[in-house]
Amino acid sequence: MQKLKLVGLKSEDAEIFDVLTRSGLFEPRAGEEVCGTEKSSDSTRLDSILSKQAKCAFAISFITGAVKEAAKKAKKNHEYEEYTHIKTGGVTETAWADILKSGQEEAELLDAAADLERLSFIRTEIKTKRNKMNVHIRALSVYEFCGDKFSSFISTEKCNSVLVSGKYSAGFIDKLYAYPVCIEEYVEKGYDRIYGLVYLKDHEDAMRGILADHGYSVCSFTYDAAPLEEIAKCRNELKVFDEEDKAALLKILSYAVKLPQFKLLYDGLYIEAEKAKARLGYYTTDETYILEGWLPKPEAERIVGDVKSTTDKIDVYLTDADSKENPPSLYKKNTVLAPYQGIADSYSPPAYGEFDPGPFTAFFFFLFFGMLTADAGYGLVLSLGALIIVKVLKPRGGFKSLVMLIGISAISAIIWGILFGSIFGLDYSQLGGLFGLEAPPAIWFNPLDVDNDGPMMLLIISLLVGVLHLTCGYCLHFYKQTKAKHLLDAIFDDGLMIVAYAGVFMLLLWMGVGLLNVKSLPAWFEIFLMPGLICLGVGIGGVILTKGRKKKGVLGKIVSGASGLYELINILSDVLSYARIFGIALASCAIGLAFNTLIELVAGAGPIGIIFAVVMAVVLHLFNLAMGVLSAYVHNARLQYLEFFGKFYDGGGRLFVPLGSKTKYIIPRA
């Protein structure tokens, strides 16, 4: 990385910024104070840009929602069919020249955004009115069997007449007739009752009491229309609301043609906002400014040349980055390794100048993914699926990295599946049986082949690759220490642990034969017992003896040395952690076997059974695949982060984020 420091005229800073933004390789940084200058602090422009960007974002999401609504309505109403072909998602490649000119249509688009906001309020208001009307209709519907107008229930000087509704209640009518009352029954439907009552005002309280006791409510409507007439009137109003809403929706949809321009403006404003934020870090005089930032070293001279070609009234200084200035880290471009870099970045980006763990992480992640999935059929589905997603959907950013990661790692699953003889849970002997052929269960061994110690072999292999993984971590730390010229630390801290792990490796080989009696392992592995113990002893003993080498005083050295015993427990816990590969791989194979047994049972039920069996096979194996991939990714990542990175990786850095690299809807191109 190189640090760029540029002094130029304020009147020309827009052109300079355009050149740097177009390069896609410039990250601005906060400037260092210079005598005679002052820092820009006016954020008015930034606030204005962010406000416009928010309006664009609203317009995009509002139009997108309207297009989706139109697509649903188009199934019943052909008026909306023309809007079903509008694409709302995806990203488009756009030339830098167009992106930087996106501001030309800004005024027109912001006016359109304001109109969309107005339409949004209108639709919300209509929705509220519609909801209120529906509630009102429901309330009116209670009285729909009453043929008289609401206004006919009036009070006179001596009498009250009311319309009441409720559920059948024993004794209600009898209690009413205890007073002078006239009762008109409008409906007796099920338990629903509607009555018109006329009674003396003197008995008002008693009547109300009887009504309340029996759960009857008095109608409060006073419309000069019968209930059905009033309901019809309300339904007509609903139709008017629907027409108004439809008009508003069509008006919104008329803006759908501007969706690409809105997206371009959104990202154009994003880039302007980034520039405005960078300008807040400038130190300036009345006429000049000082701009600072980072450029990748291989491209720095070329970019500076481009900047100088825009104006001669500029001073440019390029210096090598100093790690004390916290420069960003940038990985070297590698299409195959790029998806695996996200694994280290999720843990912590590498510090500037730190050793890139990418290639080693990629190798072991690839290896373990295959062992954890352990099925050639699943691997093939994953690889093909990833290829289709990348080619058709053209994903970007983190999602693209994840898809590529799984697609590439699935090749390992194919390899291990072929070695283990597992294709959609069927081994070679079962597959051969389908075609009347004889075949061994696997090329190497089948994890479920208990008679031939398949599970034991899988456990041994899992622990052995774990030891290799851990040893690799220590080797990388050894390299790091020697590069920093700490040779003694490298030998005593890492070299001895490498020896100890060599001992563990040999002991695991012995264990397969001497303890677990795995018949498929060569019997001569028994010779590894003594060398393994010796290496382990030398390694751990050496650590105990040398751990306190930097401590002062005998007691300090002894205490530090004793803490070296903890390394033995660490070795045990680290190695056993890899037993998860055995557990997860075996579980996946066993679930596949269980599903296949079920599918075979269903398929035996004739032609219909075969159809069901095919459907079940697809659904069940997809489920097993999904669960398997999730476990394979997460447990694999955990092994990288804890057991591997814990040995050598510091991290704590930050990634290089060039100006304008986080566009949402467009991919800039030169």
Residues that bind another protein (CB under 8 A): 346-348, 450-451, 455, 459, 515-516, 569, 572-573, 576-577, 579-580, 582-584, 586-587, 631, 634-635, 637-638, 641-642, 645-646, 651-652
Phi, psi of 513, deg, nearest 5: -95, -45
Q: Which residues contact 197 (CB under 8 A, 6 or more apart)?
A: 161, 162, 163, 164, 176, 181, 182, 183, 184, 207
- H/E stretch holding 669 reads strand 666-669
Cβ 577 to another protein, closest distance in Å? 7
Q: Tell me the residue length of the chain.
A: 670
- Closest to another protein by CB, 604 vs 646, is 646
- Give the DSSP per-residue string, 35-69: TT-EE----HHHHHHHHHHHHHHHHHHHHHHHHHH
Minimum CB distance to another protein smaller for 348 or for 520: 348
Are 360 and 381 contacting, i.e. CB atoms less than 8 angstroms apart? no
**Of 446 and 631, which CB lies nearer to another protein in the complex structure?**
631
Among residues 385 and 583, whose Cβ is nearest to another protein?
583
Of the two residues 437 and 572, which places its CB atom closer to another protein in the complex? 572
Least separation in angstroms between residue 113's CB and another protein is: 25
CB 151 within 8 Å of CB 224: yes
Smallest distance, another protein to C-beta of residue 518, A = 12
Query: Shortest Cβ distance from residue 637 to another protein (Å)?
Result: 6
Q: Which two tokens stand for residue 171?
A: 């004794």
Minimum Å gap between C-beta 515 and another protein is 7
**Nearer to another protein among residue 450 and residue 534 (C-beta):** 450
Closer to another protein at the Cβ: 288 or 631?
631
Q: For the CB of residue 589, give the shortest distance to another protein in the complex, in Å.
A: 11
User: Dihedral sign, CA of 436, 441, 447, 452?
Assistant: positive
Taking alpha carbons only, the member of 383, 331, 382 closest to residue 359 is: 331
Coil, helix or strand at residue 668: strand
Pairing of strands 288-295, 27-28: antiparallel
The dihedral of CA 380, 385, 388, 391: what is its sign? negative
Contacts for 122 with CB less than 8 Å, ≥ 6 apart: 244, 248
Q: CB of 470: closest distance to another protein in angstroms?
A: 15
**Of 347 and 505, CB closest to another protein:** 347
Shortest distance (Å) from residue 44 CB to another protein: 29
Q: How far is the CB of 631 from another protein (least distance, A)?
A: 8
**Which SS3 state, helix, strand or coil, does residue 296 take?**
coil
Is-contact 169 211, C-beta < 8 A? no
Tokens of 173: 């009518």
**Nearest-CA neighbor of 444 among 377, 365, 371, 379?**
371
Closer residue to another protein in complex, CB, 147/652: 652
Q: Which is closer to another protein, CB of 304 or CB of 459? A: 459
Closest CA to 40 of 273, 272, 289: 289
With H, G, I as helix, E, B as strand and everything else as coil, classify residue 29: coil
Q: How far is the CB of 612 from another protein (least distance, A)?
A: 30
Q: How far is the CB of 658 from another protein (least distance, A)?
A: 19
Rounded (5°) CA angle 350-355-360: 95
Characterize the bridge pairing of strands 192-200 and 159-167.
antiparallel
- At a CB cut-off of 8 Å and minimum separation 6, what does 70 contact? 80, 83, 84, 249, 253
CB 296 within 8 A of CB 48: no
- Minimum distance from residue 351 beta carbon to another protein (Å): 12
Alpha-carbon distance of 32 to 27, in angstroms, equals 15
